[in-house]
Structure formats: C-alpha cells, structure tokens
C-alpha cells in the first residue's frame, strides 16, 4: 500500500507533469472507482484546469479551476501513471485523463480495485479530510505526539497505523521506525517511557524523510507516474526480513501478527 513517502513522490512528480494543464477528456472504464455520479464527475472535471496538487496523509488532492477538488486514495494497489496515449492499455487501467494540446495521458491503474476518486467542492474539503484522517505525521510536534500516546492505552503499532489519530504512516514505515527507536510493536503506548516516545517521534520523522528522498518503497505495486521505482526497500532494517540477521545486533528478525498484519522486529533490540 502506498504510504506517505510514496504519495509525496507521486504528488511531486505530478506537479511537474500536469500542473496548469486543462483536462480535455475523461474516460471512465470502471465506474466503482468514482464515488460520484458518473455524469456529474465528467461534467465537472472536463475542461477544468489543474491549479494545484497537494498531499494530506495518504490522500492526493488535485485542485481544479471549477471550485472542486479531486481527492484520490490509492489504497492497496492504485497507480497514477503519466504515459503517452500510444502506450498500450491493460485491463487494470480504470480511468484516463486526457489533456488539451498534449499527447500524454494520466491513467489510474489498480489491480485490486480498492482505490477511489471523489470530487468534492473546495468548501467541503476540510470537513471531508477531518472526518477521515488526523493530522499529517510530518506536521505534528513531538509534544502533541507524546500527549496522544500517553492518553491512550493501545498497542503502539496499532495506534501508529490509525489514520484518524495521525495520518500517513503504514505498515512498512511504522515497522522501521519502531525498530529505530528500539520499541516492541506490542508495547502499550501509555506506559512507554517519555525518552522512548521522543526517540520514536524522531525515528518516524527520520524514516519518512529518508524514504521520500529515496523515492519510496517499491515492494509490491508502487510505481511513480513515470513508471520508475523507489529505492527505500534497499535499506530496510526489519520489514520482511524474518529469519535474517538484525543489522544492529545480529539476532534473528522475528515477526508477530497485530490486527492480522505481520509486524517485524528484533527480539533483542526491541524487548517487550
């Protein structure tokens, strides 16, 4: 699933390619991807100019000239690919945007079909986002982070992944940040020592910013709009390394299921 670093790289790439372009045509090949009436969606998007592109958590937001925003969530396997119109289409391409005076297209491709797009009036965007996600991990302070952890008695890995508390972090980077901070994924948030919470906050910031710099992690489906891959998977410390030696202490990496998701950790570095 694309997490904050992947989505940030997609937004940066899209700004280079489609910002200020006018959408001339919209081809919807799978209606369930769109969370509006098909006719309404096409009518409002067609002939709109893309005036800004932003990220909030894992959401991509295209600001359009007709006072609407196109909110995109890639979910598990969604991809936004900027390709020549001559590039072959496959059965997993579900939506296509064409642009005025351009032979290139922005295509939405999604093997699992869990991603979606929703057209929202700009005046309603803040309410939509606040009802779905909490503050972005790259915008919160260490004090606010600590306050939330201390006020909730929850398994730390589950709390970190709860998008309504803080947004943008997924399984890969939560796993890596907990390893960097030497915190067991099953530790209870309210009893973690203050010094460890501070280490975790800075570990999250460090991991996310490094992953952004390296273009994200291309482990499964993630590609940037130009179809290039990220490189952060080359420097992973624990994620998907079960049975391999810890790069820090030499112990064997283990894993535990938390909410039916594998959480990798070092049993020596991250003692419960």
CA distance 211 to 3: 10
Q: State yes or no: is 193 an active-site residue.
A: no
Q: Given 58, 107, 224, 241, which residue is catalytic?
A: 58
Residue of 3, 8, 98, 176 with catalytic role: 3
- Quick check: is 3 catalytic? yes
- To the query of whether residue 176 is one of the catalytic residues in this protein, the response is no
Cα angle, residue 246 at apex, residues 240 and 250 outer, rounded to 5°: 150
3-state per-residue secondary structure call for 47-110: CCEEEEEEEECCEEEEEECCCEEEEEECCCCEEEEEEECCCCCCCCEEEEEEECCCCEEEEEEE
Whether 245 and 253 have beta carbons less than 8 Å apart is answered as yes
Is 248 catalytic? The answer is no
Bridge partners, 49 (sequence order): 22
Alpha-carbon span 20 to 36, nearest angstrom? 24
Question: Torsion-angle region of residue 259: left (phi > 0), alpha (psi -120 to 50) or beta?
Answer: left
Catalytic one of 66, 261, 267, 268: 261
Residues carrying an active site annotation: 2-3, 58, 261
């Amino acid at each position: 699933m694309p997490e904050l670093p992947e989505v940030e790289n997609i937004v940066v790439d899209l700004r280079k390619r489609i910002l200020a372009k006018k959408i001339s045509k919209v081809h919807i090949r799978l209606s369930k991807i769109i969370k509006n009436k098909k006719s309404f969606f096409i009518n409002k998007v067609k002939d709109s100019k893309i005036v800004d592109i932003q990220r909030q958590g894992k959401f991509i937001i295209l600001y359009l000239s007709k006072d609407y925003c196109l909110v995109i969530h890639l979910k598990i396997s969604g991809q936004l690919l900027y390709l020549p119109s001559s590039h072959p289409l496959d059965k997993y391409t579900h939506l296509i945007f064409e642009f005025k005076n351009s032979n290139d297209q922005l295509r939405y491709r999604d093997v699992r079909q869990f991603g979606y797009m929703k057209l929202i009036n700009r005046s309603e965007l803040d309410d939509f986002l606040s009802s779905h996600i909490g503050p972005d991990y790259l915008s919160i302070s260490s004090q606010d982070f600590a306050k939330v952890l201390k006020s909730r008695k929850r398994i730390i890995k589950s709390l970190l992944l709860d998008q309504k508390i803080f947004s943008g972090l997924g399984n890969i980077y939560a796993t890596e940040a907990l390893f960097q901070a030497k915190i067991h994924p099953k530790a209870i948030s309210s009893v973690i020592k203050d010094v460890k919470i501070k280490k975790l906050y800075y570990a999250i910031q460090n991991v996310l910013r490094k992953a952004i710099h390296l273009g994200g992690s291309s482990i499964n489906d993630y590609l940037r709009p130009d179809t290039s891959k990220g490189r952060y998977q080359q420097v992973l410390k624990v994620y998907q390394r079960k049975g391999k030696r810890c790069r820090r202490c030499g112990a064997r990496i283990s894993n535990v299921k938390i909410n039916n998701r594998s959480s990798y950790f070092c049993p020596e570095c991250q003692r419960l």
